[in-house]
Each structure stands twice: as C-alpha cells, then as structure tokens.
C-alpha cells in the first residue's frame, strides 16, 4: 500500500482563474482558432479545439452538422455501422471512434476504403487505457495507418501519456477517468483522478514530447472549458454539456409539462442492454441514466461556450486561445459562486 504525499489534487470546482490586466477593447478581438501540427501523422489542423464526446447521445451526425460550421470536432460514437456514414463529411471536423476488438479493426479497414475524402482522425477509446492489450492494439493501428492522427485513451498519468506517444504513435491522448457526469467508475471501483490535476500533469508530460491532450470529462459550464485549457489541455471534450438538444441523441420525453431528453453513460445498463444484450456477469455498470432538461438548439449552447471563452480571454489578457495557459493563474477556493438565489 502506498499513499502519495504532496498537495491535494484538484477538480475544476476547486479553482478560479485570477484576472489580469488586459489591453482588449472588445471580446471580438480574441481568436479562438488554433493551428496544430501533429508529430506522428505530420498533419496540420486548424479549428476551435472543442470536441463532442463519442457517446451515442452526443457523437451524432446531427451534432457534427452544427459543430463543423464552427470548425469544432465531433467524435462519432462506436455504434454507427459502416453504411451509416454519409459521403459529405469534412475530415477536419470529425473523428471515427473504435474499441479494440477484432470487429473494430475490421470496421476501420472498411471505413478507410469507403470514406472519401479519407478520415484524418481516429479515436481508439476504452475505459481503461492502462491495459497491455490496448497499448498493443494502438501500436498496431499506427503501424498500419501512419497517416491517421491517432487519439487514444482514457488515462490520467504522465508516464502512460509518454508511452502512448513515444512507443505507440499517438498524437493526442485522452485524459479523464471517472469525471464524467454520467460516470460512476469512482463509486464502483474507487479508481480515478481529479480532472484538473490530471490535465495539468499530463499536459506537462505531453508537451515535452510534442504530443497533445484532450481533457475528457468534468465540464459543467463554459468556465470549466476555460479552466481545462488554462490547465494545458489542447482540446476539451464535452458530453453531458452537449446532450439534451434537438441534435443530440436520446429519447425526448415529457413529464408534468416539462420536456427532457434521456442521457446515459456508455458503460451504463442502458447502453449495455442496447448494444451488448445486457451487462456481462463478470462486470458491473459504471454509468448512469438520467433525464436532462430539454435545451433546444445546440447552436445556442455552442455560441454560449464560445462567448464564455472569449470573455475569459479578455479577463486574463490572452489574445489567442493558444495563449490561455501562459496567462492563467489558478486560485484554490472554497466557494466558486453565490448560489443563494438558485
């Protein structure tokens, strides 16, 4: 048994960003686009580094049609069949998502043949990115498809970030275990890592070897997106925040005159019953199913996030999204907001 000493690890709720002197006259002066060159695929990408999570309630073609207009990325969920993919996708703004089964590998090969133009991004996604089978699978995919910008995870520690990048050819490592709104991994297993600290530590390791990271999970509001970027994340992935809209998946229901959409984790009973015929006897559900108040158009939420980011930049003097980390000083707090009227 070992207990790590040192400062307590932090989630987004534990900090605020300290304001600094700024020379901005207007939020419109802030540029939210980034240009990133990926080490292994050699590809250059330009866009706003926000990603819809590869859940079947958010990683949909309908969500893609909204986000791509803003140069944001949608990570499609794993359960689309090959024939589901339309022919008019911009490869800059979507990711294919697969697991590590033989069937996933075969589906990828077919998609690489079918889709034109060819995909740029591939997300290899598992709940536990520490298994040797996962690492070997990622390395195999990199060797066979070196032109793909590989995204892989989820992990929360710097040494596995380095292994994925150096030994497996991964350009973007997905960071987060147990921080999602629909995730109960920490309750079921006791395993996890506070999200902001995970991002800060993994970003430090990644950037030293020209790798990049996605902060996946824990986003409750637009301010949390700014905090994730301030902590060093190159991309931020949103799940529940993008759920509940017209374009989101999930059943629309009405109770007592109010509308809701069903949202669930991909390790929940709901998802496993839908795609795998139930929860296998050797495992348990690590996700929950909830009703999210209906939010209307996704575009309104996107504009709210982008407005929040521009405002955050003006508070700290960051002219570009890329400048947020060097302009960010976090303050540990015991209370974030006055919620007396909530």
Q: How confident is the prediction along the chain (342 residues), in pLDDT tens digits per residue?
A: 788 877 889 999 999 999 998 887 778 889 999 999 999 999 999 999 999 999 888 999 999 999 999 999 999 999 899 999 998 999 999 999 999 999 999 999 999 999 999 999 999 999 889 999 999 999 999 999 999 999 998 999 999 999 999 999 999 999 999 887 777 777 788 888 999 999 999 999 999 999 999 999 999 999 999 999 999 999 999 999 999 999 998 888 999 999 998 877 655 556 556 555 555 555 555 566 778 899 999 999 999 999 999 999 999 999 999 999 999 999 999 988 888 876
**Residue 79, domain member (yes or no):** yes
Assess if residue 282 is contained within a domain: yes
Closest by CA to 237, choosing from 222, 257, 216, is 216
All residues at 6 or more sequence positions from 211 whose CB lies less than 8 Å from its CB, including other chains = 39, 161, 162, 164, 165, 170, 171, 172, 173, 205
Cis check: omega of the bond before 154, within 30 degrees of 0? yes
Count of domains observed in the chain: 1
CA–CA dist 166, 185 (Å, integer): 28
What is the predicted pLDDT for the residue at 284?
A: 52
Whether 189 is catalytic is: no
What confidence score (pLDDT) does residue 268 get?
55
CATH number for the domain that contains residue 327: 3.20.20.70
Check 149, 185, 270, 301 and give the catalytic one: 185
- The per-residue pLDDT for 179 is 83
**Strand ranges for the chain from DSSP E:** 15-17, 34-37, 44-47, 50-52, 73-75, 94-98, 121-125, 149-155, 172-175, 212-216, 235-238, 252-255, 258-264, 289-293, 330-332
Domain assignment present for 178: yes
Q: Which domain holds residue 121?
A: 31-332
Q: What pLDDT does residue 220 have? A: 93
Q: Is 123 a catalytic residue?
A: no
Give me the pLDDT at residue 290, please: 76
Q: Are 153 and 134 in contact (CB under 8 A)?
A: no
In a domain, 337, yes or no: no
Residue 9 lies in a domain: no
Catalytic-role residue among 75, 183, 202, 313: 183
> Is 24 within a domain?
no
Report yes or no on 11 lying in a domain: no
Asked whether residue 293 is assigned to any structural domain, the reply reads: yes
């Amino acid at each position: 048994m070992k207990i790590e000493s040192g400062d307590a690890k932090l989630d987004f709720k534990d900090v605020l960003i300290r304001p600094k002197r700024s020379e901005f006259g207007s939020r419109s002066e802030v540029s939210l686009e980034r240009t990133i060159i990926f080490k292994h695929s050699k590809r250059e990408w330009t866009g706003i580094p926000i990603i819809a999570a590869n859940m079947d309630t958010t990683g949909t073609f309908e969500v893609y049609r909204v986000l791509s207009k803003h140069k944001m990325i949608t990570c499609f969920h794993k359960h689309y069949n090959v024939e589901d993919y339309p022919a008019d996708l911009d490869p800059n703004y979507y990711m294919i998502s697969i697991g590590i089964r033989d069937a996933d590998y075969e589906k990828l090969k077919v998609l690489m043949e079918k889709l034109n133009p060819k995909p740029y991004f591939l997300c290899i996604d598992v709940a536990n990115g520490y298994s040797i089978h996962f690492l070997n699978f990622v390395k195999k995919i990199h060797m066979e498809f070196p032109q793909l910008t590989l995204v892989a995870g989820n992990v929360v520690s710097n040494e596995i970030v380095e292994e994925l990048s150096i030994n497996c050819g991964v350009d973007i490592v997905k960071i987060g275990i147990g921080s999602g709104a629909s995730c109960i991994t920490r309750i079921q297993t006791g395993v996890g890592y506070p999200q902001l600290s995970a991002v800060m530590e993994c970003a430090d390791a990644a950037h030293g070897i020209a790798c990049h990271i996605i902060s996946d999970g824990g986003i409750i509001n637009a301010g949390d997106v700014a905090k994730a970027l301030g902590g060093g994340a190159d991309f931020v992935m949103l799940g529940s925040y993008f759920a509940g809209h017209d374009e989101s998946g999930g059943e629309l229901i009405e109770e007592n005159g109010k509308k809701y959409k069903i949202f669930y984790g991909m390790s929940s009973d709901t998802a496993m019953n839908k795609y795998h015929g139930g929860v296998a006897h050797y495992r348990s559900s690590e996700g929950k199913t909830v009703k999210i108040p209906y939010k209307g158009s996704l575009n309104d939420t996107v504009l709210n996030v982008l407005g929040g980011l521009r405002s955050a930049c003006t508070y700290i003097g960051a002219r570009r999204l890329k400048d947020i980390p060097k302009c960010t000083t976090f303050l540990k707090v015991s209370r974030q907001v006055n919620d007396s009227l909530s």
